[in-house]
């Protein structure tokens, strides 16, 4: 498995969108807004690939000069539980450290809180609703 940055608008980005749609949007009956997707050209896009096929993805958005937010963490259903999410978190955290960020946070879906806890993140907010489902903010000092 190779972890790599994804260029916005590239064929790899199309694979990433397909994965995000299947795992994160379709189950909720939602779709992406093309205007929101355009803005992702400013973000750090990350993918886990095997033989050119995407297995998992996530992205990092600058919240402020010290803090990045992780978004859109997804692994294909049949590939979950094999360490791909963990590998992507390590890649994202190392990249954030190298670029001088001090904190990583995310709006975690409630059913993924256990995953982020295993990665060393702590819940720092009350529960709130986003994309129709319960979330909490989680955070880790890098």
Ligand X SMILES: CC(C)(COP(=O)(O)OP(=O)(O)OC[C@H]1O[C@@H](n2cnc3c(N)ncnc32)[C@H](O)[C@@H]1OP(=O)(O)O)[C@@H](O)C(=O)NCCC(=O)NCCS
The site for ligand X (CB under 6 A) is made up of 23-24, 73-75, 80-86, 108-109, 111-112, 114-115, 118
Burial class (CB in 10 A: 0-12, 13-18, 19+), 132: exposed
Least spacing, CB of residue 71 vs ligand X, in Å:
8
Residue 16 or 84: the one with the smaller Cβ distance to ligand X is 84
Residue 67 or 112: the one with the smaller Cβ distance to ligand X is 112
Least spacing, CB of residue 114 vs ligand X, in Å:
3
Residue 7 or 117: the one with the smaller Cβ distance to ligand X is 117
Least spacing, CB of residue 67 vs ligand X, in Å:
17
Residue 9 or 122: the one with the smaller Cβ distance to ligand X is 122
Least spacing, CB of residue 22 vs ligand X, in Å:
10
Pairing mode of beta strands 67-75, 103-109: parallel
> Could you give the CA distance from residue 111 to residue 134 in angstroms, rounded to a whole number?
9
β-pair partners for 39 = none
Closest CB to ligand X belongs to which residue?
A: 85
CB 56 within 8 A of CB 90: no
CB 141 within 8 A of CB 102: yes
Residue with tokens 């094999």: 82
* Cα separation of the two ends of the chain: 24
């Amino acid at each position: 498995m190779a972890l790599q940055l994804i260029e916005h608008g590239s064929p790899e980005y199309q694979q990433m969108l397909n994965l995000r749609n299947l795992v994160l949007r379709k189950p909720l009956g939602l779709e992406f807004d093309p205007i929101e997707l355009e803005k992702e050209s400013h973000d750090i896009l990350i993918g886990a690939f095997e033989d050119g096929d995407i297995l998992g993805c996530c992205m990092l958005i600058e919240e402020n000069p010290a803090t990045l937010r992780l978004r859109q963490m997804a692994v294909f259903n049949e590939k979950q539980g094999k360490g791909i999410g963990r590998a992507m978190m390590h890649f994202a955290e190392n990249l954030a450290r190298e670029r001088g960020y001090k904190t990583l946070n995310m709006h975690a879906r409630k059913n993924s809180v256990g995953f982020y806890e295993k990665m060393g993140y702590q819940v720092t907010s009350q529960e709130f609703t986003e994309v129709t489902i319960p979330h909490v903010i989680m955070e880790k000092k890098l």
